[in-house]
Amino acid sequence: AHRLSFAFSALFLAACGQPSADGPGAAVGGKADCPAGQSCVATSSYDVVFTDPVCASYEYQQPVANARNTDELSAKPKNVFCTKDDSEPSGSRPFSPQSRLKAIIDDTQAGDELFLSFLSFSDQVIADALCDAAERGVDVDFVLDKENARSEALAACGADIMIRGHQGSVGFQHTKLVMVNPHGGSGAPLFGDEAILALVNDLSVDFEELDVDAGLNATAAANIIAHRDGPDGTPGTSDDDLFDDIDELDAVSHVGPAALEDLGNYAEGKVGSASSAVTMVFGSGNLSSGTHLHHENWHFAEVARDSYFVQNHVCLVDALTDPTKESTDGKGNFRTALQDCRAQITATQADDLQAFFIPALEDRNRIRAIMQTEMLQAGSVDIAAHRFSWRQMLDAIDFQLQDDPDFEARLVADDDTYWLQPLVGAPLVVGFNTENEAEEISNLIVSGGGATGDFDDDSRFQVRFMETNHSARLLHHNKFMIFRDDAGEATGVIYGAANFTGTGFDSNLENVYFTTRPEIVAAFDRQFKRFWGETPATGADPAPPRATAPAEMPIENVLPIPPVP
């Protein structure tokens, strides 16, 4: 009866709760690249950025046996276990979330509006940038769950700090969002060299766009992409070589005055009117170690201002910044505030990228319906999670494991969860995870065919652990769920601010996303494969962050020694 009720509820919610949309989609000022029959969010850029901290090697004082005593371990996994000493080399990289956030803040001018909402705030680099922005006349509005020394200092710089959450039936203020000029603002346009550099440094711009849409010579287009993407030929990796100025671009072979003129004409048409696009940042991380040391995913996007996606987020901003706090005083008031605002939106919800704001009832029902329906249709699912106790998700996985003998699921979790139910020795509480999460994983292992529920059982539900530094409260803090078809191809992803817990999808203030957009799905697919060890180390990626199989976990909870300077 339990399994039947799950199936019927999923189908009912899917039928009643899915948004409808129609009409073509196109990039802002750029090419249309939307599947036939779908509508797509109009973006001029969308970059998925994983923190991927770069950390020293941390060796044990003496070798430690693995959990099954079949081998000895000499060190923690490279670039998984980190310390606060790794903050500067990780955060200062030009493509790190911290650096990209700072660049966005530094680019704001007097009269601009800068909205931010996060659970926590401790990143000094970002705090200094925000203080500078507020002091030069930027209207900085910052929504937090609670005050701290950083927020008090920022308020002294002139920023408006608003505390939300914990009102009525609302739990934590857990949204994670940055928007520049959500209500319009000055929106300084980009022209000339600035527009050209913004175009060629946009990682979503590919050879075809430069060759066909911008009208460049094919050799020039290929050489520009090759220079920007670095030796490995992959955008968004550590060897990227972005163009610092127009002279560096002009020095590329086959790029001359004619090519620069073509680039200028195309770039100004695409990015020349900043008022047509809104800079947005969202994802799993807080303004803390989450910008550079936690394992997180961040999303940097330029989205059409008149899109439903942006206007929907403006409704969230207005609810969170309501000076009376009535809009966040209980689930019902939050729902009403969003409904009233959304009723004024004339744009249509797109198919390829959708946002859900918890705890609004409709949003809770819709994202749950999507999760359940996608799970029922999936051949397999891959999950990366900090917390793991969302009942509807657990039931959906359990149903599939028992109903479909070919269905498989994989989970990457923080090793805080492993130590709650280690293969050897007594349970240890070393972090934020709870015993029931370890038990739920064990139950799914049994549902997948495991004999005992041990983490290393032979099962269609497999788990591996990121060996992070719990002594420094550093975390694997991702929250994403990849759905795959029967051939193993990734087809959709749920991601965002919410942990996979009951409160994350019921009572906290959260922003959650579902996408079928190929380039976003592919980014998550690549990262999970890096975690799982399915991608080889290369010159450009010499030490991918690897999750550890249970049998290869250390036999005891031993900290490594600091590296020798």
**Are residues 400 and 513 located together in one domain of the fold?**
yes
The DSSP call for residue 81 is: S
**Which pLDDT score, from 0 to 100, does residue 204 have?**
84
In angstroms, how far apart are the furthest CA atoms of the chain? 72
Confidence category of residue 194, pLDDT binned at 50, 70, 90: confident
Strand segments, DSSP code E, in 217-275 are none
**Which pLDDT score, from 0 to 100, does residue 342 have?**
97
Number of independent structural domains in the chain: 3
The answer to whether 430 touches 470, Cβ cutoff 8 Å, is yes
Confidence category of residue 237, pLDDT binned at 50, 70, 90: confident
> Is residue 544 situated within a structural domain?
yes
> Is residue 428 situated within a structural domain?
yes
Domain edge (last residue) among 228, 254, 272: 272
> Is residue 80 situated within a structural domain?
no
**Are residues 255 and 303 located together in one domain of the fold?**
no
CATH number of the domain enclosing 166:
3.30.870.10
**Are residues 293 and 436 located together in one domain of the fold?**
no
**Are residues 511 and 433 located together in one domain of the fold?**
yes
Average pLDDT over residues 187-202: 76
**Are residues 289 and 437 located together in one domain of the fold?**
no
Average pLDDT over residues 320-335: 97
- Rounded-to-10 torsion of CA 361, 363, 364, 366: 120
Phi and psi for 277 in degrees, rounded to 5?
Answer: -135, 150
Calculate what percentage of the chain has a pLDDT beyond 70.
92
> Is residue 263 situated within a structural domain?
yes
Domain edge (last residue) among 342, 360, 382: 342
**Are residues 257 and 326 located together in one domain of the fold?**
no
Average pLDDT over residues 229-255: 92
Is 50 exceeded by the pLDDT of residue 25? Answer: no
**Which pLDDT score, from 0 to 100, does residue 10 have?**
40
> Is residue 565 situated within a structural domain?
no
Average pLDDT over residues 16-27: 30
The answer to whether 230 touches 540, Cβ cutoff 8 Å, is yes
Confidence category of residue 275, pLDDT binned at 50, 70, 90: low
**Are residues 411 and 433 located together in one domain of the fold?**
yes
| pLDDT tens-place string over residues 453-477 | 999 999 999 999 999 999 999 999 9
**Are residues 207 and 334 located together in one domain of the fold?**
no
Is 90 exceeded by the pLDDT of residue 30? Answer: no
Average pLDDT over residues 388-392: 98
**Are residues 450 and 531 located together in one domain of the fold?**
yes
**Are residues 112 and 213 located together in one domain of the fold?**
no
Task: Print the domain residue range for 138.
Answer: 93-187+276-342
Confidence category of residue 185, pLDDT binned at 50, 70, 90: low
**Are residues 420 and 511 located together in one domain of the fold?**
yes
**Are residues 400 and 526 located together in one domain of the fold?**
yes
Calculate what percentage of the chain has a pLDDT beyond 90.
85
Report CA Rg, the chain.
24
**Which pLDDT score, from 0 to 100, does residue 279 have?**
97
> Is residue 217 situated within a structural domain?
yes
> Is residue 64 situated within a structural domain?
no
- Asked which of 183-192, 347-356, 372-381 is least confident by mean pLDDT, the reply is 183-192
| pLDDT tens-place string over residues 483-521 | 999 999 999 999 999 999 999 999 999 999 999 999 999
Confidence category of residue 550, pLDDT binned at 50, 70, 90: very high
Domain edge (last residue) among 242, 272, 302: 272
**Which pLDDT score, from 0 to 100, does residue 29 have?**
31
Round to whole Å and give the CA distance between 338 and 327.
8
Confidence category of residue 186, pLDDT binned at 50, 70, 90: low
Global confidence as pTM: 0.82
> Is residue 49 situated within a structural domain?
no
Average pLDDT, the chain: 92
**Which pLDDT score, from 0 to 100, does residue 203 have?**
87
